[in-house]
Structure 1
Amino acid sequence: MNILGSVRKYFGKTAPSAPPPSAEAQVVTVDAGILIREAAAELGRERYAEAIALYEKAIAARPEAAGGYIGLGFTHFRLGQLAPAITALQNAVARDPQSVDGLYMLGKACLAAGQGDSAEQAWQKLHLLEPAFEHVYVDHCLLLFSRGKADEAMALISKGIDHHPQNANFHFYLGNLLAEAGDYSGALNAYSAARAIVPPWPDLLSNIATALRQTGQLDASIEALKAAADLAPDSAPILSNYLMGIQYSDKFSKQEKFDALQVFAERFESQLLGQWGNYRNDTNPDRKLKIGYVSGDFRNHSLAFFIEPVLRNHDRSAFEIHCYYSHPSFDNVSANIKALADQWHDIFQIPDEALAQKIRADGIDILIDLSGHTGHNRLLAFARKPAPIQMTWLGYQASTGLRAIDFRVTDEAMDPTGTSEAYHSETLLRLPISGAFTPSPQSPPVNPLSALDGRPFMFGCLNNPSKITDEAIHLWARILTGVPNSQLMIGNATADVIARISSLFALHHVGVDRLSFQPRVSLAGYLALHNQIDLALDTFPYNGGTTTFHSLWMGVPLIALAGDTSLSRVGISMMNGLGLPEFCANTADEYVERAVWHATHPPELDTVRQSMRAKMEALNHHMALGVTSSLESAFREQWHTWCAQSSRS
């Protein structure tokens, strides 16, 4: 599960609601105090109507006091009656501006009603009045994060730790924020602090595992994921994280990975089969279709480079496009994607059952999962099969394991016929082109090959370090040995990544002086790094995706090793698609030989470099139109089939 995943994944369950505030001390008259105590007792019994009546009597007895209003507001909040809750709590705070209980509950009610500004204002006042008020830190932190104020959220939760250093959850949330910012080493330190306070709980172990994977500690990550899944066998997000983790590993066979997916389906999908069917969709085969895309990555995320060109080129006369967004934050990329959709649905706070009902009510004909087992996925909504036809595509190049998902969109290069059908619960829907890419407008021009200037030849891998396996380092060491004085650039390098990779290269007698480690940088800085790289080395068995497209756009071809899964065939698919099979290898030895040959023929390599941008421009234009057209044809064909089957049943 991608670390850039949902707040549900990275922040765990929301903090429990504060108990009904004790307001007796604020009430002078005995009668009002008795009424409030009786109301609180009724509230504890979940006799809400009786509680409301008693709180209203208390207010009538002592209208200038805040206590009755706080209790009344809390009760309405519990019932989901947000407007009267906010009114009551505003009355409470007007009568006692220093009521921390009133401010806390006012913030919660405003937040639930979508009034983020008002919630922030209430909680900021609370912090000034009572900096040690423990309950508010989690809620306020989540609010700030969801509003794109990650730095403020981190400062706030750090302040909470200062006041409550033994609150393990605060360390946990700090770790999640650090992970969101890409500081996985810092996240691991924060998680260790939480673990030192209380025994590890499943969400903590799962997030530790993700941070370990991001720092390249894959074996330790999978161990932590297994421990988390053992502690929480009924947690779909945690099991999804485990399933995602083993996709990175070459120590699990295709069959073992598929068996694990079937465990997920048996555990979570089998009990939902009764919700399938009974669709009310119009069975006219040629009418305008409603297409739903579901993802938590409609934001500053690699998926945006691939989904935007498709959304932009959809035929709106034949298809109505709905985007269901399952992440709490909304950024400029989200705004761009929202503008490309006919209907936009924020679904982060909608439970899976309610989401499935909403999708049915929206009349979606074809529903497409763009996440698989990565972060923010809504696979349990798909497991309820709310749409007649369901597909998975783009964000996760493997089976979901769910029978409720009818098709996985792919192509012949990624999934050659006969090689992977047995490892899919879905039918493979092979398109002529299965993906499109939009390059960043921040891209600098392609420069001449740096090695032509007499500088040491620079290999490069800017992929996520979690994809760098021991076997990859073994082959890269052979390549560096075969090209004297050459160097290898490693991107996204934290202290943990540097230590791990340096030690592994040392085992192959390659010194750290041959390695150039680069920290995580902005997109513009990341693209500029390609001007220093002469030849990229792809990772395996989990190939680069977005990084491969960026590399080729920047004129840097890569050596790709063909594998036996979709995830391990991205590189050769791209290089063959550009007419560059000489950069593709079928064996480990060939991978090394091709890298060494191209590194020792810089003029020929520069010729390829200077041609790449034009090839990518032509390919991107062709892909954007081609993938959208072929996808729409597949939508229509499958819809015709479903309509024909429905008419016979």
Structure 2
Amino acid sequence: MDVLASLYTRVGRLTDGLYYAKLAVCLKPNPEAQPLVPPDLASYAASLVNVGVSHHLTNAEAALHLGLFDEARDQTEKYLRIHPEDGEGMVLAAKALLALQRPHAAAAMMRAALHHDPRNGWMHALLAEALMGCARHEAALSHQKLAFELAGDDDALRGRLAGSLALQSGACRPAAQGLLGALNDEREAPVRRVNVREPIESIMVGILWDQVYDSPLVHCVTPICRRFDMSVLYVRNVRHDAVGDVLRGAVLRPRQAVGVDDATLGRIVVGDQVVALINLCAPSEIATFPVFKGEGAPMVVHWVTSPMCDRIPGADLVLADPETVDVDRRTYGEERVALLSNLLAFEFPRILAPEEEVLDLPRETRGFAMFGIHGVSARMTPDSVALWSKVLWACPEAHLMIGGRDDWEEGMVTWALDAFAEYGVSTRVHFQAPLEGEGTFAAAKAFPHMVDVILDSTPVGAEVETVHDLWMGLPVVSLRGPTRVGRVGTSVLRAAGRPEWIADDEAGYIRIAAALAHDPALGETRKGLREQILGSRLADPVALGNEIAQCLMQALTARRTQR
């Protein structure tokens, strides 16, 4: 009993440790067993002073990998009650809170962590992400710079930084672009490249995929991957679920690449005789960007990431559409950019759930138009708030609903209402009320039925949300930004056959939004939009897959000719 009490206490299971300690007090000790007890486990009191690895921490890590963010947060809270100053526990807690879109709580957690370890680059990077979710972009940039200085050779941290820097807005964007350029230049430095001496003559296509959680992009990627008969999928996460298994089933050979650094993975790709590597990694801590050198190196292809980067290190071929082509040519050079008809195409549901039916126009029952925006804190930038407020000025009778979430962080609500109050429109801004007892994602399912027109964010637009909004019969207004990451919404609208909802400037955005809000035929547009989407290139992944395959073959043929 003494040994069990000490063991359970050492691993942080204090309740179990106390139980066995009490039981030991009630029992008569056996003198013959005493010599068998290791000295460091002979005292329950000593074990209390030296609590070791907690099962709460390991449970939190597992839950985070599985996408069980509420469970991860609860487990880290229990762990931090035992180890209130442990930096690793604080980092895990902050990651869970960020995934739950609670940036104010995550920022508070990381500030506390930095008091104990001020030179930890990861902590600065996570605090920056949280601050951006709180719309404090200038403060976030300071921590991103510190994280960049402290990153050293940590490619995982560099990848995470690239993702957050791509979301910077306003006056901070030029400095963020400078940091992104420095990150990519270091990755492409000769010393960090994988050398390939012998030319690869196979027809094997490699696909890098790092989406840890239930990524809706898989419904775009999977049907296109099926177009390649000879393909190998390099999976960067340990998660096995229905979505991931669908993608694994779409390729010839799935290969686990968890915990493999860029250089090692690059050598594995070369050993697999991959002639073209499509990098679908989003900038995250498990993303990888192997860079090759030598005449026989595989061709690295930049197609789509989420969030989309303006530049993937080492890309030889960049797939663009009419919306991104000018940005891509400025970034990569005209010779490396191939123009497609569209970048995204999805397989839409064949059987509809009741909540997926397109209902009557909400404007008709309320008597006024209701604009909608998705409550993704990282995209609710000061730039976006200013633009949305101007739309409300142009439509004095209209209101704005922030929705698509089952709960709201108090700090986010306070910030948003204060931000809109600066423009005098806060009384017409509402947060979607939680739907009690309706299950997970109930608010997201109900949101399209509550609004008339969706307003996209700036400078980073929505991607998969825009696709779902259009399919649900909702017009979406999007502003064409100066970067690739700012054109995800416009790319979707063009593929859907609705380029008239794309604005070149703020004045055009306001004009389009106001026209839709007052359009007497808006109800008919809403009813017919789904059929139009299903008949557009956005719903034809086979055509897009064929176009991508043909583009790859042409590029590979041109490379062989140049050798």
Equivalence for 1:616: 533
1:415 and 2:325 matched: yes
Q: Is the 8 A contact 2:479 2:509 kept in 1?
A: yes
Say which SS state the counterpart of residue 434 (structure 1) adopts.
coil
Equivalence for 1:542: 460
Say which SS state the counterpart of residue 168 (structure 2) adopts.
coil
1:498 and 2:413 matched: yes
Instruction: Report Cα offsets for 1:48-74 as digits up to 9, x if no partner.
Output: xxxxxxxxxxxxxxxxx9x9xxxxxxx
Q: Is the 8 A contact 2:121 2:151 kept in 1?
A: yes
Q: Is the 8 A contact 2:210 2:282 kept in 1?
A: no
Asked which structure has the greater CA Rg, the reply is 1
Equivalence for 1:212: 131
Structure 1 stretch 301-310 or stretch 511-520: which is displaced more? 511-520
Shift, 1:355, TM fit? 1.4
Q: Is the 8 A contact 1:295 1:371 kept in 2?
A: yes
Instruction: Report Cα offsets for 1:179-230 as digits up to 9, x if no partner.
Output: 3344333323332332344435211111111222234333332222122212
Q: Distance in 2 between matches of 1:598 and 1:592?
A: 10
AA aligned to 1:506 is: A
Q: Which TM-score applies when normalising by structure 1?
A: 0.71
Q: Which among 184, 189, 201 is matched to residue 265 of structure 1? A: 184
Cα gap change, 1:199/1:211 in structure 2, threshold over 3 Å: closer, same or farther? same
Instruction: Report Cα offsets for 1:549-603 as digits up to 9, x if no partner.
Output: 11101110112222333233333343344443442322212221221222122x3
Q: Distance in 1 between matches of 2:508 and 2:452?
A: 19
Q: Distance in 2 between matches of 1:594 and 1:147?
A: 41
Q: Distance in 2 between matches of 1:99 and 1:459?
A: 69
AA aligned to 2:277 is: L
Shift, 1:155, TM fit? 4.1
Equivalence for 1:360: 270
Instruction: Report Cα offsets for 1:28-87 as digits up to 9, x if no partner.
Output: xxxxxxxxxxxxxxxxxxxxxxxxxxxxxxxxxxxxx9x9xxxxxxxxxxxxxxxxxxxx
Q: Is the 8 A contact 2:79 2:89 kept in 1?
A: yes
Equivalence for 2:395: 483
Q: Which TM-score applies when normalising by structure 2?
A: 0.81
Say which SS state the counterpart of residue 243 (structure 2) adopts.
helix
Between the two proteins, the alignment pairs up a number of residues equal to 516
Cα gap change, 1:149/1:397 in structure 2, threshold over 3 Å: closer, same or farther? closer
Equivalent positions of 1:500-579 (< 5 A) are: 500-517=415-432, 522-523=440-441, 525-579=443-497
Cα gap change, 1:598/1:142 in structure 2, threshold over 3 Å: closer, same or farther? closer
1:300 and 2:214 matched: yes
Q: Distance in 1 between matches of 2:81 and 2:170?
A: 43
Q: Is the 8 A contact 1:225 1:238 kept in 2?
A: no
Q: Is the 8 A contact 2:452 2:474 kept in 1?
A: yes
Equivalent positions of 1:118-517 (< 5 A) are: 133-137=51-55, 138-139=57-58, 141-146=60-65, 153-199=72-118, 201-251=120-170, 259-272=178-191, 275-282=194-201, 289-297=203-211, 299-312=213-226, 314-316=227-229, 320-371=230-281, 373-379=283-289, 381-382=290-291, 387-395=297-305, 396-400=307-311, 402=313, 404-416=314-326, 420-424=328-332, 427-439=336-348, 444-462=356-374, 464-491=376-403, 492=405, 493-517=408-432
AA aligned to 1:607 is: E
Shift, 1:394, TM fit? 0.9
Q: Distance in 2 between matches of 1:401 and 1:633?
A: 22
Q: Distance in 2 between matches of 1:374 and 1:167?
A: 23
Equivalence for 2:504: 586
Q: Distance in 1 between matches of 2:499 and 2:179?
A: 34
AA aligned to 1:509 is: G
Q: Distance in 1 between matches of 2:117 and 2:250?
A: 46
Identity rate of aligned residues, in percent? 19
Shift, 1:372, TM fit? 5.0
Q: Is the 8 A contact 1:408 1:428 kept in 2?
A: yes
Equivalence for 1:29: none
Cα gap change, 1:290/1:513 in structure 2, threshold over 3 Å: closer, same or farther? same
Equivalent positions of 1:3-82 (< 5 A) are: none
Cα gap change, 1:485/1:360 in structure 2, threshold over 3 Å: closer, same or farther? same
AA aligned to 1:321 is: S
AA aligned to 2:331 is: Y
Say which SS state the counterpart of residue 264 (structure 1) adopts.
helix
Q: Is the 8 A contact 1:229 1:239 kept in 2?
A: yes
Instruction: Report Cα offsets for 1:74-128 as digits up to 9, x if no partner.
Output: xxxxxxxxxxxxxxxxxxxxx98x9999xxxxxxxxxxxxxxxxxxxxxxxxxxx
Say which SS state the counterpart of residue 142 (structure 1) adopts.
helix
Q: Distance in 1 between matches of 2:441 and 2:455?
A: 20
Cα gap change, 1:331/1:565 in structure 2, threshold over 3 Å: closer, same or farther? same
Cα gap change, 1:556/1:326 in structure 2, threshold over 3 Å: closer, same or farther? same
1:604 and 2:513 matched: no
CA RMSD of aligned residues (A): 3.5
Q: Distance in 1 between matches of 2:39 and 2:133?
A: 44
Q: Distance in 2 between matches of 1:162 and 1:233?
A: 32
Q: Is the 8 A contact 1:298 1:333 kept in 2?
A: no
Say which SS state the counterpart of residue 365 (structure 1) adopts.
strand
| Structure 1 segments unaligned to the other structure (5+ residues) | 1-17, 19-64, 68-94, 102-128, 284-288
Cα gap change, 1:193/1:282 in structure 2, threshold over 3 Å: closer, same or farther? same
| Structure 2 segments unaligned to the other structure (5+ residues) | 1-10, 12-32, 42-46
Say which SS state the counterpart of residue 536 (structure 2) adopts.
helix
Q: Is the 8 A contact 2:480 2:502 kept in 1?
A: yes
Q: Is the 8 A contact 1:412 1:430 kept in 2?
A: yes
AA aligned to 2:338 is: L
AA aligned to 1:433 is: N
Shift, 1:153, TM fit? 4.5
Q: Is the 8 A contact 2:212 2:239 kept in 1?
A: no
Q: Distance in 2 between matches of 1:374 and 1:254?
A: 19
Shift, 1:446, TM fit? 0.8
Shift, 1:632, TM fit? 0.5
Q: Is the 8 A contact 2:320 2:328 kept in 1?
A: no
Q: Is the 8 A contact 1:486 1:514 kept in 2?
A: no
Cα gap change, 1:394/1:175 in structure 2, threshold over 3 Å: closer, same or farther? same
Shift, 1:630, TM fit? 0.5
Instruction: Report Cα offsets for 1:527-546 as digits up to 9, x if no partner.
Output: 32101010011112211111
Q: Distance in 1 between matches of 2:149 and 2:547?
A: 42
Say which SS state the counterpart of residue 340 (structure 1) adopts.
coil
Q: Distance in 2 between matches of 1:246 and 1:144?
A: 27
Q: Distance in 1 between matches of 2:505 and 2:336?
A: 29
Instruction: Report Cα offsets for 1:141-193 as digits up to 9, x if no partner.
Output: 43454456655554443333222223232222222233334433332333233
Q: Distance in 1 between matches of 2:74 and 2:346?
A: 37
Q: Is the 8 A contact 1:258 1:424 kept in 2?
A: no
Say which SS state the counterpart of residue 135 (structure 1) adopts.
coil
Q: Distance in 2 between matches of 1:392 and 1:131?
A: 53
Q: Which among 554, 558, 562 is matched to residue 637 of structure 1? A: 554
AA aligned to 2:341 is: P
Say which SS state the counterpart of residue 631 (structure 1) adopts.
helix
AA aligned to 2:514 is: V
Q: Distance in 1 between matches of 2:161 and 2:342?
A: 30
